[in-house]
């Protein structure tokens, strides 16, 4: 059974596009070489910008939907807030994912070594976060580690394509810690569905309240590291995330409602960071 264009579009989770496209753009802005790229580099950045929109998102979320089917059918978040991909459409989805990736394959041989490595890491974690035999999402703490790498590695791809290799690894670590909190927070509403499907996660291991406290600590650490690089902007968003997690701890019954706000908050935080780096690079 074939997927429609509408199904493919929504399968790519448009509200989550900025989690990989946004970090890619932040990585480009972090290079500090804006408007100084040669023609080849500029074309590569544009091409990978396209890659990290629909193709990359269909790839990571498509693999996730295929391997999470037995979990998703028990999950109210998927059946009510998102959607469950019918089993008979899985084969067609594999064909679509491959078709979307093939046009970008030659680009792999056009980028430098560090960018190649970062891209391999993105593809590897994108597949094996959900897919067997690793299926990291069911093997804590690999679940939070793989998920964080999926969202942070595009920034490294963008940064390295510009030719800059003088990377601030502390900033990368801060991004990973932030992603630890994001992934764990999103896993808390899935606890019951994951238990029914036999999927273990860090949120299950810690328990609902302890998982939320873990998220709080992650956001505080990430905001503290961010302060070193972008000052009070990091503290403002750190407070926003902290408030949401504290509200969730005090009223777990409304956690899913708070969870639906996260894409907007994450996009706002990413946009502020992008423009901060943009203006910093041109001033």
State the DSSP string of 143-156. HHHHHHHHHHHHHH
CA 80 from chain centre, in angstroms, equals 22
pLDDT in tens, 240-264: 999 999 999 998 888 888 888 888 8
* CA 17 – CA 177 distance, rounded (Å): 20
**Per-residue pLDDT at 14:** 83
Residue with tokens 């998927």: 78
Helix boundaries (H) for the chain: 5-11, 21-30, 39-51, 54-67, 69-72, 76, 90-101, 113-128, 142-161, 169-187, 191-197, 202-206, 208-230, 232-250, 255-259, 262-282
Kindly give, in sequence order, each residue whose CB lies less than 8 Å from that of residue 170, ignoring residues fewer than 6 positions away. Answer: 225, 228
Mean pLDDT score, 177-199: 88
The rounded percent of the chain whose pLDDT value lies above 70 is 94
**Per-residue pLDDT at 220:** 96
State the DSSP string of 59-73. HHHHHHHHHTHHHHT
- Residue 277: name the closest of 22, 31, 18 by CA: 31
**Per-residue pLDDT at 78:** 61
pLDDT in tens, 2-36: 888 888 888 888 888 888 999 999 999 988 777 67
* CA 123 – CA 246 distance, rounded (Å): 34
**Per-residue pLDDT at 8:** 84
* CA 51 – CA 99 distance, rounded (Å): 12
- Residue 60: name the closest of 14, 123, 120 by CA: 123
pLDDT in tens, 207-239: 999 999 999 999 999 999 999 998 889 999 999
Cβ-defined contacts of 144-148 (< 8 Å, 24+): 144/179, 144/180, 144/183, 144/184, 144/202, 145/180, 147/179, 147/183, 148/175, 148/176, 148/177, 148/179, 148/180, 148/183
- Residue 206: name the closest of 185, 178, 182, 179 by CA: 185
Band of the pLDDT at 79, cuts 50, 70, 90? low
Question: CB–CB of 262/182 below 8 Å?
Answer: yes
Mean pLDDT score, 79-91: 71
pTM to 2 decimals? 0.91
Question: CB–CB of 35/80 below 8 Å?
Answer: no
For residue 115, pLDDT over 80 is answered with yes
**Per-residue pLDDT at 81:** 58
- Residue 24: name the closest of 41, 57, 58, 49 by CA: 49
- Residue 209: name the closest of 182, 185, 241 by CA: 185
Largest CA distance in the chain: 54
Residue with tokens 């067609």: 92
């Amino acid at each position: 059974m074939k997927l429609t264009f509408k199904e493919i579009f929504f399968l790519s989770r448009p509200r989550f596009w900025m989690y990989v496209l946004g970090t890619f753009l932040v990585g480009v802005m972090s290079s500090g070489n804006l408007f100084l790229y040669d023609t080849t580099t500029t074309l590569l950045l544009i091409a990978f910008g396209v890659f990290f929109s629909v193709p990359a998102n269909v790839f990571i979320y498509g693999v996730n939907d295929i391997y999470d089917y037995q979990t998703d059918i028990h999950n109210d978040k998927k059946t009510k807030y998102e959607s469950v991909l019918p089993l008979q459409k899985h084969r067609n989805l594999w064909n679509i994912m491959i078709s979307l990736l093939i046009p970008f394959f030659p680009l792999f041989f056009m980028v430098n070594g560090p960018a190649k490595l970062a891209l391999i890491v993105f593809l590897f974690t994108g597949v094996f976060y959900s897919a067997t035999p690793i299926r990291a999402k069911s093997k804590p703490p690999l679940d939070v580690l793989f998920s964080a790498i999926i969202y942070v590695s595009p920034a490294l791809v963008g940064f390295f394509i510009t030719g800059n290799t003088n990377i601030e690894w502390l900033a990368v670590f801060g991004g990973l810690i932030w992603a630890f909190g994001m992934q764990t927070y999103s896993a808390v509403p899935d606890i019951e569905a994951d238990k029914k499907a036999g999927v273990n996660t860090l949120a299950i291991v810690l328990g609902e309240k302890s998982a939320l406290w873990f998220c709080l600590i992650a956001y505080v650490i990430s905001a503290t590291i961010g302060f070193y690089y972008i000052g009070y902007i990091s503290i403002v968003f750190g407070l926003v995330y902290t408030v949401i997690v504290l509200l969730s701890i005090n009223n777990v019954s409304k956690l899913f409602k708070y969870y639906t706000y996260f894409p907007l908050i994450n996009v706002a935080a990413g946009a502020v960071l992008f423009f901060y780096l943009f203006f910093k690079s041109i001033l």
